[in-house]
């Protein structure tokens, strides 16, 4: 019987064994939502990197540079971490190099996973369908905020668990915690996340529009996947979901 577990923070990744498993990376506000959106708007590939410096190096090699720290676009880069930055025909067909406060740093901790895919509320149902088809062990990896557990990624983890077939075993207390949070949330995600520190951080930055966007369900049928260090969309998703 396949199992689903939840890693609530990148700092807890070392206690999970990713070998042979599907890792679902989630950073609802906003990295994974933005990555999914970028592919909807025709981006060719996204190279996640840890540091601003490395991001700049690739930018000089011809990549379009996207960089965010503390919720803001970093000076000298074309794009930030808002999905709205990618509603832009200039990105279509292009390679992007991408660094964010939390999302991209998470990736380096989970390299042993069999496949690494990216989830958010905007692609919830296709991710659930894909996982239900694969029937493999899953770890949902929440990006959190600077190592701290966060509410919106935990809620996403619980919501995704609720969409898995009952043949999936919930493994570990973090999965139970996330699923319990989902059961409390109801349909008004924004109201439920009112106390989230990151929602409030983004509100203060005037990014209410981004928050609303990131909490919309099933806007896109795209699943980004990390292959050989670069993120590209899984092809023919409808065929991959039985």
Member of 173, 188, 190, 227 binding its own copies (CB under 8 A): 173
Concatenated DSSP letters for the chain? --EEEEE-SGGGGGGS--BT-EEEEE-TTTHHHHHHHHHHTT--EEEE-S-HHHHHHHHHTTPEEEEEETTEEPTT-SB-S-GGGG--GGGTT-EEEEE-SSHHHHHGGGTTBSEEEEE-GGGHHHHHHHHHHH---EEEEE--BTTB--HHHHHHHHHHHHHS-TTSEE-SHHHHHHHHHHHHH-S-HHHHGGG-HHHHHHHHTT-HHHHHHHT--S-----EEEETTEEEEPS-HHHH--
- C-beta of 198: minimal distance to its own copies in Å? 8
For its own copies, the binding residue among 132, 172, 230, 237 (CB under 8 A) is 172
Nearer to its own copies, 79 or 151 (CB): 151
Least distance in angstroms from the C-beta of 154 to its own copies: 6
User: Which string of x and - marks every residue 178-207 that binds its own copies (by CB under 8 A)?
Assistant: --xx-xx----------xxxx---------
30 is a site residue for its own copies (CB under 8 A): no
Please report whether residue 146 would count as binding its own copies according to CB under 8 A.
yes
When asked if residue 28 is in the footprint of its own copies (CB under 8 A), the reply is: no
Binding site for its own copies (CB under 8 A): 8-9, 11-12, 14-15, 145-151, 154, 170, 172-174, 176-177, 180-181, 183-184, 195-198
């Amino acid at each position: 019987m396949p199992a689903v577990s939840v890693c609530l923070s990148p700092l807890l990744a070392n206690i999970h064994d990713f070998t042979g498993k599907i890792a679902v990376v989630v950073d609802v506000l906003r990295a994974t939502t933005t990555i999914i959106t970028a592919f909807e708007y025709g981006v060719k590939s996204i190279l996640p990197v840890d540091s601003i410096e490395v991001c700049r190096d690739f930018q000089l090699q011809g990549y379009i540079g996207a960089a965010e720290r503390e919720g803001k676009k970093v000076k000298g880069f074309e794009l930030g971490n808002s999905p709205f930055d990618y509603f832009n025909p200039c990105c279509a067909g292009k390679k992007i190099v991408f660094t964010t406060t939390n999302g991209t740093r998470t990736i380096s901790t989970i390299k042993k996973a069999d496949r690494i895919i990216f989830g958010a509320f905007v692609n919830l149902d296709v991710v659930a369908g894909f996982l239900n088809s694969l029937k493999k062990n899953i770890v949902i990896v929440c990006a959190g905020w600077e190592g701290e557990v966060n509410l919106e990624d935990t809620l996403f983890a619980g919501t995704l668990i609720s969409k898995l077939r009952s043949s999936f075993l919930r493994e570990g207390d973090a999965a139970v915690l996330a699923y319990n949070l989902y059961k409390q949330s109801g349909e008004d995600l924004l109201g439920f996340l009112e106390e989230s520190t990151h929602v409030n951080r983004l509100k203060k930055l005037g990014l209410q529009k981004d928050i609303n966007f990131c909490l919309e369900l099933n806007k896109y049928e795209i699943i980004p996947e990390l292959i050989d260090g670069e993120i590209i969309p899984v092809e023919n998703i409808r065929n991959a979901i039985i």
